[in-house]
Amino acid sequence: MPDSDKPANPVTFPPAFLWGAATSAYQIEGAVREDGRTPSIWDTFSHTPGKTVDGDHGDIAVDHYHRYRDDVALMAELGLGAYRFSVSWSRVQPTGRGPAVQKGLDFYRRLVDELLSKGIKPAVTLYHWDLPQELEDAGGWPERDTAYRFAEYAQIVGEALGDRVEHWMTLNEPWCSAFLGYASGVHAPGRTDPAASLRAAHHLNLAHGLGSTALRSAMPARNSVSIALNSAVVRPLSQDPADLAAARKIDDLANGVFHGPLLHGAYPQSLFEATAAVTDWSFVLDGDTAQINQPLDALGLNYYTPTLVSAADPAAKGPRADGHGASEHSPWPGVDDVAFHQSPGERTAMGWTVDPSGLHELIMRYTREAPGLPLYITENGAAYDDKPGSDGSVHDPERIAYLHGHLSAVRRAITDGADVRGYFLWSLLDNFEWAYGYGKRFGAVYVDYVTLERTPKSSALWYSRAARTGTLPEVEAV
């Protein structure tokens, strides 16, 4: 046959590659007042008028707390090898301090046992944005004490689950916790204090360091301790020196503020210079960066879309197109002289540009930043306006194309020398999408929010074939 008619070489992954899916506690569990759980900042925020679309909240979410066995059975049917979930801090330690509530821990013990019984590896994230409200009332992440409370919490969960869970992440996307929560206010707790957001970023870093030490003291040495960063792929609009300087500032605030101390034991000097008008960084005490710079067993990378920036035109007015929600307050403290631009190309329902090349770029950056450190893609996925057809099935070809493109980028990075060991699709289930409420569907499994019935979308069936065979099916295959 002509060369143009021959099928492309199949994209095949190494045999040990881990195929998983991810969720977070507040987005799926529900049962917010059961078995001793107390409010987190997301309970408070979502029940504050005007903070979420349609006033949506996670009181019931998708009721995973009561339906976890069915959800694990569904994962097994799809052939998933791993499941990344987060623990609700206020379900385990309601005030953020003191002894654990055993009923809360028991839920996660049952979940882990159910996963293991189906041959699915559990991967635990200790913190996915749901700080106990009592700790926020005491000052939240801008207060140093919160990092020490996190270490105590990490010790509790590590002792309870460390004998059966090998993969651990301390924090998920600390950038969002610090800057969307305390600078722009579009995430809980909804504060708009630029200096507080930088203090929060440092104390989240410190929490990771202290928490890593606590986990390792509580668990077998074989276990892996990591963190999941939503590091940005920052691109300048042009090679003009002013645009390059703008990209450097955003790179420092998106990436260097975390991977500087985590990987290299120091914050970038250029970050201090860019934010000097906001804070003097005196909250960084002697020994902090050494504590943060704990050995990592792996690094989790979350990726959705690249970030395109330039120097700002002082005469230009309009919304900030950084993809992080609408607010009069910026999540980028000290850098009001930077403009954000929509990257060209197809967009998801979030308005985010689909660009798999950014994922390859991100992986290769951290292959250089931390040579020899195993990488996992801990979140990657897309929201689309999914709707059931007349036969009840949910066909989502856009998401299949998205997954094929991004997984192909992962495989290309492996070919280029990156040590990527697994991929966690975001998300297993349609769920509460934070301030967007239930209007944005990221799930591979469709959830009817009235009946809570689960229906695997065609993307779930496509991903199932990839997970079972280690080879990406054609985009048209469902």
CA distance 414 to 289: 31
Residue 179: CB atoms within 10 A of its CB come to: 26
Residue type, 248: R
Cβ(470)–Cβ(13) below 8 Å: yes
Q: What are the Cα distances from residue 429, in Å, to 67, 68, 193? A: 12, 12, 34
Catalytic residue chosen out of the listed positions 379, 398, 474, 476: 379
Cβ(83)–Cβ(121) below 8 Å: yes
Alpha helices in 145-231 (DSSP H): 145-161, 174-175, 181-182, 194-218
Catalytic residue chosen out of the listed positions 114, 136, 143, 173: 173
Cβ(36)–Cβ(103) below 8 Å: yes
Residue type, 80: L
| Peptide bond connecting 331 to the previous residue in cis, omega within 30 degrees of 0 | no
Q: What are the Cα distances from residue 380, in Å, to 194, 211, 232, 280, 423? A: 28, 25, 13, 35, 8
Q: Which residues of 181-210 are buried (b: 16+ CB within 10 A; e: fewer)?
A: bbbbbbbbbbbbbbbbbbbbbbbbbbbbbb
474 is catalytic: no
Q: Of 231, 129, 275, which is closest to residue 190 (Cα–Cα)?
A: 129
Residue 33: CB atoms within 10 A of its CB come to: 11
34 is catalytic: no
CA distance 201 to 169: 17
- Residue corresponding to tokens 């300048």: 236
Quick check: helix, strand or coil at residue 404? helix
Q: Of 148, 160, 151, 99, which is closest to residue 124 (Cα–Cα)?
A: 160
Active site residues: 173, 379
